[in-house]
Amino acid sequence: MDTSYPREEYPPMSAHKRDPSPAVPPRDHLIWSIFNTLYMNFCCLGFVALAFSVKARDRKVSGDVEAARRFSSKARCYNALATAGSVVLPLLLLALVITGVLHLSKLAQQSVGFFTYQLSGTDEENK
């Protein structure tokens, strides 16, 4: 065995931390999920987000931080989709209704002008 130089003992690679940042527990987004489930449940996405939030909280409590991060990420994604769908779609519907009403009012004004011209008669009928 060669002992001519001092060797340093390194711990195995699995013992090193993969993430250099301190272990911050992931957020479970439970309040946001409950809000989406109760108030803005677009296509049941709020309920799906609530299920992933509960899974993230359970994994966080059990100590499985990596699984809690995955479930937390999915819960955040579904919450964002539910919120966007519940806010954007009613605004889009409102915009369509407003443009429809404006178009119908313009059409009604043109129709009134057309029918008043037709009903007033022409100069040849007055002779």
Q: What is the pLDDT of residues 44-93, one digit of tens each?
A: 899 999 999 999 999 999 999 999 999 999 999 999 999 998 888 889 99
Query: Percent of the chain, pLDDT > 70?
Result: 73
Residue 43 is encoded by which pair of tokens? 């296509």
pTM over 0.75, yes/no: no
CA-CA distance, 40 to 82, in Å (whole number)? 7
Q: What is the mean pLDDT of residues 15-41?
A: 77
Query: Percent of the chain scored above 90 by pLDDT?
Result: 51
Q: For the chain, first and last CA: distance in Å?
A: 130
Q: Decide: 45 and 82 in contact? Cβ < 8 Å.
A: yes
